Copies of this chain bind each other. A is one copy, B any other.
Amino acid sequence: MAIGLNFRYAALGCCLLTSMAMGQDSLLDDAKSLFGPIPNVPVLDGNPATSAKVELGKMLFFELRLSESHNISCNTCHHIGLGGADGRPTSIGHNWQHGGRNAPTVLNSVFNIAQFWDGRAADLTEQAGGPIASPIEMGSTPEHAVEQLKGIPGYVEAFRKAFPDEIDPLDFVNLKKAIAVFEATLTTPDGPFDTYLKGDEKALTKEEKKGLRLFIDKGCSSCHNGINVGGGMYAAFGAVEKPGADFLPPDDEGRKRVTGQMDDQYVFKVPSLRNVELTAPYFHSGRAWDLDEAVAVMGTAQLGIRLAPEEVSSIVAFLRTLTGDQPQVTYPTLPPSVATTPRPTP
């Protein structure tokens, strides 16, 4: 169900009220009530992180041999050095096939309500298996992925260490769990906005605060809120006014494909705006290259307002304060194949 609009008006009303009652000084309080700084890495339900499991998950995240061609890893599309995305409209997968939607960032994805643009995976664990088994992404299958890793002695040992209580730990469930615990470490704390939310009012410039005020008062924060400044709900793209077919291709009906419900047509998970300056191009279609343009389109499509250029600039200045410390990842040394290891497709 598309709950974006209802939420939007509720939040908008609330914010305007607060803002009117308390004046500009209340900006920090307003922000605190709507957003949260990036917390410590959360513990995943039923999947506690150990150093062995995180290390295994990191290996798997960079593991080309999980793809049928041995040419594509998680990091291919969720590139840790590029804000956790790949900077393309849609990603290139097996046999140079193109994905249907822009690769969402893996950074801070643990804080999202669900995974994929349409929320079809409940969490990171469920998500991790999707691209491996997608014919247009990594082109493998769960069975073959397990067979592949079982053919690499170093992985047999690494799964044993990561799941020490299990007799036969190298299976697809544990593969996904390990990737998920690693991905949960890929957070970007301590950006200027986090410092601000923690009470340091000097962490944002006057211009950035103006942008934050607009972001709240214009209604952006009715969908883009919470820890991830987004990622917490679903909304129809074009709730007020449909953008052009380049941004909203008519054949991708979004969450309707997941729920089968007509009112989920063109509904997508509201993306996180954390590190948004690093992850152009924007929208599920990946067709907006300019953050200013993306903000303006959101104004007309979601809020029915035409933001003035200087308003857009201020909002973008605020959005840049959402860039946090990028994860420091030491590249893993992957266990070598042996003569009997399953081989890639030509």
A295-346 residues at the B interface, CB under 8 angstroms:
326-334, 336-339, 343-344, 346
Chain B residues in 8 Å Cβ range of A96: 95-96
Number of copies: 2
Chain B residues in 8 Å Cβ range of A83: 336
Chain B residues in 8 Å Cβ range of A337: 87, 280, 289
Whether B333 and A81, one on each chain, are in contact in the complex, defined by CB atoms closer than 8 angstroms, is yes
Whether B87 and A64, one on each chain, are in contact in the complex, defined by CB atoms closer than 8 angstroms, is yes
Tell me, in angstroms, the Cα distance from A153 to B95 when the chains sit together. Answer: 33
Whether B333 and A330, one on each chain, are in contact in the complex, defined by CB atoms closer than 8 angstroms, is no
Whether B343 and A289, one on each chain, are in contact in the complex, defined by CB atoms closer than 8 angstroms, is yes
Which of B65, B87, B329, B331 is the one whose CB lies under 8 Å from A344? Answer: B87
Which of B69, B80, B290, B336 is the one whose CB lies under 8 Å from A92? Answer: B69
Interface residues of A, count at CB 8 A: 47
Whether A86 and B64, one on each chain, are in contact in the complex, defined by CB atoms closer than 8 angstroms, is yes
Contact with B along A72-106 (1 / 0, CB 8 A): 00001001111100111101100110100000000
A87-128 residues at the B interface, CB under 8 angstroms:
87-89, 91-92, 95-96, 98
Residue A171, interface by CB 8 Å? no
Residue A62, interface by CB 8 Å? yes
Whether B95 and A70, one on each chain, are in contact in the complex, defined by CB atoms closer than 8 angstroms, is no
Residue A270, interface by CB 8 Å? no
A177 to chain B, nearest CB (A): 21
